[in-house]
Amino acid sequence: MSISVSGWRVRAGITCAACHATVDSQSGKVTEGAPNWDLNAGLLLSLATNSAAYFMHTDVFPLRDIPLDARRTVTSSNGEKQALPRVDTLETAVDTELLMWPRGNFDSLADMQADPTQNPVSFTWGNHPYGWSGNFMAGPFRGLTAQNNNVHALNSDALLLADSSPTLFGMDEEAFLAIVLQNAASKRYRFVATGKRKLSEFLAFAKRTSGSPGVNQVVLPPTYPKATLLSPDGTLTSSPGYRFWQQNNAITAWQDTILPPRPRIDVQPSIISRRQVFERPVVQDATRALS
C-alpha cells in the first residue's frame, strides 16, 4: 500500500497484492499469487465517504429500496426531473451489505446481486480457461489479458458503466451518475442536485481524463458501450504513451511466471490421508454406516 501526500490530502494506493498475496505464517515471507484471507475488503469499502457508489455490487436498488427526496433532482436524458435517493439512507444500506462480506471475499460483478466470493489464486500458468461461462476466452495469453482488463473495468471506476446503465440496471444514465456522485468525497466531483443541468455536462467539465466516460484512462472501441469478449463494460484499459494493452500484457506475462509454493514436508502426511478418505470404496463405507 503506497501512501503519498498531495497538498493536504493523504492518498493510499492499493495494488493487486492486497488481495492476491499473503504472508507465510512460518517463514514470514510474502507468497505472491496466494489469496489474502485476512483482508476485510467489505469493511474497508464501508469506511469510505461514498461507498454508496458501489451499490451495483449489492442487493440495494437506490430508486426502489431507498426513499426519494423530491427536493433533490437530476435532469434525465429525456429532459424529465428524476428525484434522487436520500444520501444518508443509501450510504447506510450499502454499508450494511458491505459489512456482511466475510474476510478474504470480494464482489467484483456489477449485477445488482450481493454475491461476494473468495479471492481467487493468481497462479494462472496452464490454468485456462479463466471463466466458467465463456468470458475471458479471447485475446492475448488465452484470455488472461482480458481478465486483467476487467479488474479495472468493473471494480475501480463505476462511471464507466453509465452509458450501459439503462440496459444493465434499468436506470437512466443521468440518474446513475447522480447517485454515484451525489456523495463524492471530492467537491470537484460531488453533484449538487439542483436539476438545472444534466449531470453528464457537469462531469465533462469536472473530470480531467479527456476522451474517457469516466476517470480511468481507457480506449473506447467501435462497439462501446456494448460488452464484448474482451471487456464486460465495453472499454479497454490503456494509458497514453504506451502501445495498446502493453501494460496489461506485461502484467499478464509476469503473472504467468508465479508458481504456487511447494507443500512443506510436515503437511504431506495429512494431504495423503485426506486423499485416501476419498479413494475408499463407497460400498465399504455404506456397510460400516449400516452396521
DSSP for 95-164 reads HHHHTTSPTTEE----SS----EEPPP---TT-----TTSTT-SSGGGGHHHHHHHHHHHTS-GGGGGGG
Q: Can you give the pLDDT at residue 106?
A: 92
Q: Can you give the pLDDT at residue 213?
A: 81
Cβ proximity of 171 and 37 under 8 Å? no
Q: Can you give the pLDDT at residue 287?
A: 47
Q: How confident is the prediction along the chain (291 residues), in pLDDT tens digits per residue?
A: 778 887 777 877 778 888 899 998 888 889 999 999 999 999 999 999 999 999 999 999 999 999 999 888 888 888 888 899 999 999 999 999 999 999 999 998 888 999 999 988 899 998 888 877 777 888 999 999 998 888 777 778 888 898 899 998 999 998 999 999 989 888 878 887 765 556 666 666 555 556 678 888 888 899 998 888 888 888 998 888 999 999 999 999 999 999 888 776 665 555 556 666 667 665 554 444 444
Cβ proximity of 221 and 234 under 8 Å? yes
Q: Can you give the pLDDT at residue 43?
A: 95
Q: Can you give the pLDDT at residue 214?
A: 81
The percentage of residues in the chain with a pLDDT greater than 90, rounded to a whole number, is: 36
Cβ proximity of 85 and 66 under 8 Å? yes
Q: Which residue has the cell 424529465?
A: 80
Euclidean distance between CA atoms 95 and 192, whole angstroms: 22
Q: Which phi and psi angles does 156 have, rounded to 5°?
A: -105, -10
Alpha carbon 274 to its chain centroid, in Å, reads 35
Instruction: Record the pTM.
Output: 0.81
Instruction: Give the pairing of strands 218-219 and 236-237.
Output: antiparallel
Cβ proximity of 33 and 20 under 8 Å? yes
